[in-house]
Amino acid sequence: MSAKRQWAIVGGIVLALGALLVTATLTSSGVKIIGPGAPAPDFSALAVPDSGEPTVAISIAAYKGKPILLNIWATWCAPCREEMPRIERLHRELGPEGLAVVAISINNPGMTNAIREFRTEMGLSFEILYDVSGRIRDSYQTSGVPETFLIDRQGVVRRRLIGSSWTVDNQRALLRELIAESPE
């Protein structure tokens, strides 16, 4: 076995042990990892009106009893720009069937106009919110943007999608399942 291959194996083992250590530390410290099976954390974000500054705060309670596709994004994020047309297609296809599509921008304060321009440029018709504080990043434990959470009618995260590489076709079956589930 070559020295290069041996180092690759050692590196892989170190990475695996590091991941196990982080997971063990988080779970033993009582921190609940936000992923499948976890309750979707509450949030407070501002609705972005067509003009003026946002003033209406919206929380996850506004979507109670609905399946939600919750996307966390920013205007400066190239992968966000890439995935927004896919999210818009899902909204047009599954919104009328009951799917709430919500995208929450984590742009810095004072970026309302940039968010509006982004929405117009991309032709987005789903709900765009603005978390000026950026607290949603902490409560949803995001590692960056974009991140998307598929949440069922009971407010439980069913899938966490990191990055923009997910495809509509791969998620459509789960989204239809979430829509079809009866409200409890």
Written as one string, the DSSP assignment of the chain is: --HHHHHHHHHHHHHHHHHHHHHHHHHHTTPPP-STTSBPPP-EEEE--SSS----EEEGGGGTTS-EEEEEE-TT-HHHHHHHHHHHHHHHHHGGGT-EEEEEE-PPTT-HHHHHHHHHHHT--SEEEE-TT-HHHHHTT-SSS-EEEEE-TTSBEEEEEESS---HHHHHHHHHHHHHSPP-
Q: Is the pLDDT of residue 28 over 50?
A: no
Average pLDDT, integer, range 16-41: 70
Domains of the chain, by residue range, sit at 1-31, 33-180
Work out the mean pLDDT of the chain and round it to a whole number: 90
Over residues 123-158, the pLDDT tens digits come to 999 999 999 999 999 999 999 999 999 999 999 999
Q: Which CATH class is domain 33-180?
A: alpha beta
